[in-house]
Amino acid sequence: MKLFLTFLLNIGIGLAGLRVGYGAFPLSIIGYLWRAKQPYNVSVAAEVSACVALLNPTYLEKVKEALVQERDRLYKLLKEVPFLNPFPSYSNFILCEVMSGMDAKKLKLAKGMRLSIASESECRSEFGAGSRKQEALVFKELKVLQKMGFGTKWVGWMWSCVSSAKFSVLVNGVPAGFFPSTRGLRQGDPLSPYLFVMGMEVLDVLIRRAVEGGYLSGCIIQGGSRTSLNISHLFFADDTIVFCEASKEQVSHLSWIIFWFEAASGLRINLAKSEIIPVGEVEEILELAAELGCRVGSLPSHYLGLPLGVPNRATSMWDGVEERVRRRLALWKRQYISKGGRITLIKSTLASMPIYQMSIFRMPKSVAKRVEKTQRDFLWGGGNLEGKVHLVKWDVVCTEKHKGGLGLRKIATLNRALLGKWIWRSKKASGATGVGVWKEILKESEWCWENLAFLVGKGSKIKFWKDSWCTDTPLSHCFNHLFVLTAHRDATIEEMWDQDSGQGNWNLVFVKDFKDWELDMIGDLLHTLRGHRPSLEDDSIMWRQGRNGLFRVKEAYRLLDKPNATVFPSRSIWVDRVPTKVCFFAWEATWGKVLTLDKLQIRGDDLAKMGVMIR
């Protein structure tokens, strides 16, 4: 829905964006509104939309009606739009599972190729001003829309938006004329990323048809239930990975697919940035690369910023993260920053550098200890060349401020919370099978599923006895004796509900008759089930510890990290208008950790003989 609203906003305010173009409106009107209002934000854009609506009151209403008609098809198509998708880790996760799931004995017969799909602005062919090739490129993208079933009026609107987009440069706060966009699909308009994704649909269809026809083999992964899955390609924005066998025939087929894609979409593959990566021992790899026209790569490599082809538990895959953290938290920087500033820098480093990789892979304990040591040394000082006193325990530092800490996070606990989010995303049973990365994620399934609850709809995906849906714990735990006697232990709620008996009733089947003392258990079970019944809606799942039933890493971290209960006057210490370094000193003094003269004497420090207090 957020994606749809973004799309609607772009159309409602002129279908060309606030910052780059105003081609959907007459230039005289936009020039007047620009000089009068200077629309830099959305609030002013609303005034622009209101003015245009007054000039043509039926315009926005027609756009709204068309959007409502096309929104379902558009939302399904663009739900994985790469330019707005906050989870590029999905592609990394699938790729890591594919690499881990390959049978070692079959590596000699397998080969993966990585192709970087460059947009037109990054390709070798450049378009000059007034060139018709740019219009032809956009026209091909819109032909894809027609092929996918979008109406002629809708496609006409898209053509008007992209073809009329213009730029203006502010000189002393005044726009110095307008000029059109003549190069690059992504340069002209905020709608261009959406059109780019639709253009990539051409390549997706070509590869799928090649796999169905046997021209490309893909990579077949065997599942735990003896089912197989064929992964042929992965898309994310302009980065693409294609899997095929190490044969000249299939590489030739892939070369033809690229040629047809360029002819159909108008986009160009930048083969200079593309590479063919052999998995295992591949003969004649140079000949295969020459056939495709790209260079030869090797494993380990990187894909979307994460390591590829490295064992999941290897510490070497974290070398880059450790090096970036050490450079960011270099000890020479601490002498120019107060302790309050050091805390801010440590938080920003943890939030930006290792968090992305930690969201997929489990960080080894040795790596986590080294990263935390770098953080401690940067905060308090120390290292191999100097000895500094770490005044407060790191466990206390890593608690929340209202509990007496500094709000830092323990890396190992944060890693567990990030991996637990995959359980929430997948919403699969904890007994699901997998290889590589998924096995590590499943280690966090126990605590995660203890805090998940099912919201019953049809009941086709929720197990009657084994899932938590009407109580805080599964019925198999609440009524263990009845669970042993039931005839259908793995039955779903839909299977246990008898809709044919009047208004519906629970169909509880047991393997034997009950004794008198067991009838009370049946009564308690029926009392628990009272008020619960299936509906026509789909089953859903909720996170008990979060707001609105949604999983949040912050709340999962609090659940996993259980510090000792401490009464701490945090409101008296962390005051908004007080400098952070003063608050930090008050925090140290509250814990009684300031290096006063008597404490220096106890430590045997030579400076204690001077009779001064260390600031």
Residue 406, both tokens: 């500094």
* Burial bucket for residue 172 (CB in 10 Å: 0-12, 13-18, 19+): exposed
Kindly tell me if the per-residue pLDDT of 513 is higher than 60.
Answer: yes
Q: How far is Cα 256 from Cα 247, in angstroms, rounded to an integer?
A: 15
Q: How far is Cα 312 from Cα 143, in angstroms, rounded to an integer?
A: 44
Q: Which of left, alpha, beta for 106 (phi over 0: left; psi -120 to 50: alpha)?
A: alpha
Query: According to the model, what pLDDT value does residue 118 have?
Result: 33
Query: According to the model, what pLDDT value does residue 111 have?
Result: 42
Query: According to the model, what pLDDT value does residue 110 have?
Result: 40
Expressed in angstroms, the distance from the first to the final Cα of the chain is 54
Query: According to the model, what pLDDT value does residue 366 have?
Result: 92
Tell me which residue has tokens 């939302």.
75
Query: Please, are residues 113 and 241 in contact by the beta-carbon 8 Å criterion?
Result: yes
- The whole-number average pLDDT for the span 66-87 is 47
Q: H/E element holding 525?
A: helix 519-529
**Phi, psi values for residue 409, rounded to 5°:** -120, 140
Kindly tell me if the per-residue pLDDT of 2 is higher than 60.
Answer: no
List residues bridging with 239 in a β-sheet.
Answer: 116, 236
Query: Please, are residues 261 and 99 in contact by the beta-carbon 8 Å criterion?
Result: no
Query: According to the model, what pLDDT value does residue 604 have?
Result: 67
* Burial bucket for residue 5 (CB in 10 Å: 0-12, 13-18, 19+): exposed
Of 23-37, 286-300, 430-444, 597-611, the poorest mean pLDDT is in 23-37
Which of the two residues, 84 and 145, has the higher pLDDT score? Answer: 145
Q: Could you read off the pLDDT of 116-136 as tens digits, one per residue?
A: 333 333 333 222 233 334 445
- The whole-number average pLDDT for the span 489-500 is 83
Query: According to the model, what pLDDT value does residue 181 have?
Result: 64
Kindly tell me if the per-residue pLDDT of 109 is higher than 60.
Answer: no
CA 523 vs CA 237, 404, 505: distances in Å: 57, 49, 14
Listed residue (186, 166, 153) closest to 81, CA to CA: 186
Rank 145-159, 267-281, 317-331 by mean pLDDT and report only the highest.
317-331
Query: According to the model, what pLDDT value does residue 127 have?
Result: 25
Kindly tell me if the per-residue pLDDT of 469 is higher than 60.
Answer: yes
Counting residues of the chain whose pLDDT is more than 70, the rounded percentage is 69
Q: Per CATH, which fold does 89-120+195-308 belong to?
A: Alpha-Beta Plaits (3.30.70)
Spell out the residues 6+ positions from residue 435 whose beta carbon is closer than 8 angstroms to its own: 97, 100, 101
Kindly tell me if the per-residue pLDDT of 535 is higher than 80.
Answer: yes
Counting residues of the chain whose pLDDT is more than 90, the rounded percentage is 2
Q: How far is Cα 397 from Cα 378, in angstroms, rounded to an integer?
A: 13
Which of the two residues, 83 and 178, has the higher pLDDT score? Answer: 178
Query: According to the model, what pLDDT value does residue 436 have?
Result: 64
Which of the two residues, 250 and 199, has the higher pLDDT score? Answer: 250
Strands 301-303 and 295-296: unpaired
Mean pLDDT of the chain: 71
Query: According to the model, what pLDDT value does residue 438 have?
Result: 76
Kindly tell me if the per-residue pLDDT of 205 is higher than 60.
Answer: yes
Tell me which residue has tokens 């622009």.
48
Q: How far is Cα 217 from Cα 569, in angstroms, rounded to an integer?
A: 65
Kindly tell me if the per-residue pLDDT of 400 is higher than 80.
Answer: yes
Which of the two residues, 255 and 19, has the higher pLDDT score? Answer: 255
Listed residue (587, 589, 595, 593) closest to 404, CA to CA: 587
The 3-state DSSP class for residue 515 equals: coil
Q: How far is Cα 521 from Cα 147, in angstroms, rounded to an integer?
A: 62
Locate all alpha helices (DSSP H) within 353-501, ordered by sequence.
Answer: 355-358, 365-380, 394-397, 411-426, 437-442, 445-450, 475-478, 480-485, 493-496
Secondary structure tally for the chain: helices H, strands E: 26, 15
Provide the residue ranges of all domains of the chain, joining segments of one domain with +.
2-79+152-177, 89-120+195-308, 315-416, 452-543, 570-610
- The whole-number average pLDDT for the span 525-546 is 83
Which is it for the CA torsion 157, 163, 164, 167, positive or negative? positive
Reported as a pLDDT band with limits 50, 70 and 90, residue 487 is confident
- The whole-number average pLDDT for the span 546-573 is 83
- The whole-number average pLDDT for the span 139-150 is 72
